[in-house]
């Protein structure tokens, strides 16, 4: 082989390796910087107290509480619908029929829609249309539901995370061995019984992975809740579905861009970022492990 060829080969192969190293280095740098910036502030007290003195002191309890509430309501709404859509795609829809292709395309599009559009949709549909309609019908025009609150924010977030759940559940349903279904049907079980007793228990891990990934995504997204329910500061925890809430991501955004004393709150900002990052990181990590286990088993 020519020497020049060997050198170009080395350079080109080196460039590919360099790219990988670069990406991983950036990930590590981000992690390290945020951990170093936040580790001194994060404490049990920080996690369990309210912000004080115009958010320059104190903790982030309401933000954690709000984020938790958001992802719980979101999961309650998104997981059943996502699972059922996945069941339809794998068990009922004929492969390559126009209907199943359309559903699949819709799911993919939903995954691609910018998160801010979900925020707009939440404002236009949930708050103005549904909320306004509810107020007119039940409360005689009194303003209760036609304003940003945690319910609408959670439902908006549920739409955003629906594709995550569908994709994950579908993958695990496909991993349920065909023989199990055939055995169940051969024993006289109906299709619905087979799905309920064989397919769903077999794909429990997938449903769990999907939920975890959705929670991790929902906890981190800020754009959809910007004008559907997140609040700058609340002195109390949300009491009901029609209350506004604080969220970790929104807290970071507000404190780092809108607050008047950015430098003073810097440690709190880093600490909040660290909490959010660790939360999503741990959730993602668990999901990766469960997923790897599913793949190994089949």
Partner 1 sequence: MTTFENQEEDPLVPKENIPKTKKNEFVFTQESLKKQFRLSEFLSEKIITGIAFLSIAIIILIFLFVFKEALPIFIEKPERKTEIAAPAAPERYGEETPETTPSKPERYDGGGESQQPERYGIEVETIQTEEERATAFSQDSILSGNRGNSELGEDKATFKSLTGKSWMPVSDNPRYGMVPLIVGTIKITLLALLFAAPIAILAALFSAAFAPKWLREIIKPAIELLAGFPSVVIGFFALMVMASFFQDVFGYDTRLNAFVGGIAMALAAIPIIFTVTEDAMTSVPSTYSEASLALGATKWQTAFYVVLPAATPGIFAAVLLGIGRIFGETMIALMATGNAAMISANPFDSVRTLAATIGAEMAEVVFGDTHYSVLFLIGALLFVFTFILNSIAEFYVKGRLMRRFQGRTS
Distance of CA 115 to the CA centre of its chain: 11
Q: Which stretch binds partner 1 (CB under 8 A): 43-51, 55-63, 133-141, 280-288?
A: 280-288
Q: Which stretch binds partner 1 (CB under 8 A): 19-27, 43-51, 58-66, 233-241?
A: 19-27
Residue 36 binds partner 1 (CB under 8 A): no
Among 129, 139, 143, 144, binds partner 1 (CB under 8 A): 129
Among 41, 64, 79, 85, binds partner 1 (CB under 8 A): 85
Query: For residue 278, which of 76, 35, 10 has the smallest C-alpha distance?
Result: 35
Query: How distant, in Å, are the alpha carbons of 119, 215, 233, 248 from that of 276?
Result: 21, 12, 18, 6
**Cβ 2 to partner 1, closest distance in Å?**
11
Q: Which stretch binds partner 1 (CB under 8 A): 39-47, 202-210, 235-243, 277-285?
A: 277-285
Among 103, 175, 200, 234, binds partner 1 (CB under 8 A): 103
Calpha distance 193→181 (Å, rounded):
10
**Cβ 40 to partner 1, closest distance in Å?**
16
Q: Nearer Cβ to partner 1, position 106 or 134?
A: 106
CB-CB neighbours of 148 under 10 Å: 23
Residue 98 binds partner 1 (CB under 8 A): no
Main-chain dihedrals φ then ψ at residue 239, nearest 5 degrees: -95, -25
Which of positions 131-150 make contact with partner 1 (CB under 8 A)?
none
What SS3 state is found at 187? coil
Q: Nearer Cβ to partner 1, position 69 or 254?
A: 254
Query: For residue 266, which of 255, 254, 281 has the smallest C-alpha distance?
Result: 255
Within the chain, how many helices (H) and strands (E) appear? 13, 2
Among 121, 175, 205, 242, binds partner 1 (CB under 8 A): 121
Do 190 and 160 form a contact (C-beta atoms < 8 A)? no
> By CB under 8 A, how many residues form the interface with partner 1?
90
**Cβ 65 to partner 1, closest distance in Å?**
18
Which of positions 239-258 make contact with partner 1 (CB under 8 A)?
249, 252-253, 256-257
Calpha distance 147→1 (Å, rounded):
72
Q: Which stretch binds partner 1 (CB under 8 A): 20-28, 46-54, 136-144, 168-176?
A: 20-28
Q: Nearer Cβ to partner 1, position 170 or 243?
A: 170
Residue 91 binds partner 1 (CB under 8 A): yes
Residue bearing tokens 């350079």: 11
| Cα angle 9, 29, 27; round to 5 | 65
Do 136 and 229 form a contact (C-beta atoms < 8 A)? no
Which of positions 219-238 make contact with partner 1 (CB under 8 A)?
219-223, 226-227
Which of positions 164-203 make contact with partner 1 (CB under 8 A)?
166, 181-182, 185, 190-192
- Reduce the secondary structure of 198-247 to three states and give it as a string: HHHHHCHHHHHHHHHHHHHHHHHCCHHHCCCCECCCCCCCCCCCCCCECC
Q: Nearer Cβ to partner 1, position 48 or 102?
A: 102
Q: Nearer Cβ to partner 1, position 69 or 231?
A: 231
Calpha distance 216→281 (Å, rounded):
8
Which of positions 40-79 make contact with partner 1 (CB under 8 A)?
none
């Amino acid at each position: 082989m020519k020497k020049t060829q060997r050198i170009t080969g080395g350079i080109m192969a080196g460039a590919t390796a360099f790219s990988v190293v670069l990406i991983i280095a950036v990930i590590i740098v981000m992690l390290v910087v945020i951990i170093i910036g936040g580790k001194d502030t994060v404490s049990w007290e920080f996690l369990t107290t309210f912000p004080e003195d115009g958010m320059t002191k104190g903790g982030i309890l309401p933000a954690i509480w709000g984020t938790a509430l958001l992802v719980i309501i979101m999961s309650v709404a998104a997981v059943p619908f996502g699972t059922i859509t996945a069941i339809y795609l794998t068990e009922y829809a004929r492969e390559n029929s126009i209907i199943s292709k359309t559903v699949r395309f819709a799911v993919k599009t939903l995954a691609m829609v910018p998160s801010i559009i979900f925020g707009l949709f939440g404002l236009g549909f949930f708050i103005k249309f549904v909320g306004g309609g509810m107020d007119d019908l039940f409360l005689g025009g009194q303003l209760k539901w036609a304003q940003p609150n945690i319910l609408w924010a959670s439902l908006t977030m549920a739409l955003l995370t629906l594709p995550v759940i569908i994709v994950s559940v579908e993958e695990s349903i496909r991993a349920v061995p065909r023989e199990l279904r055939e055995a169940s049907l051969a024993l006289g079980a109906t299709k619905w019984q087979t799905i309920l007793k064989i397919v769903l228990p077999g794909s429990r891990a997938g449903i769990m992975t999907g939920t975890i990934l959705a929670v991790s995504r929902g906890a981190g997204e800020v754009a959809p809740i910007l004008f559907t329910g997140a609040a700058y500061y609340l002195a109390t925890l949300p009491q009901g579905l029609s209350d506004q809430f604080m969220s970790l991501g929104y807290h970071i955004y507000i404190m780092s861009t809108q607050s008047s004393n950015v430098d003073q709150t810097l440690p709190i900002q880093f600490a909040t970022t660290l909490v959010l990052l660790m939360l999503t990181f741990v959730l993602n990590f668990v999901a990766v492990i469960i997923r790897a286990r599913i793949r190994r088993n089949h």
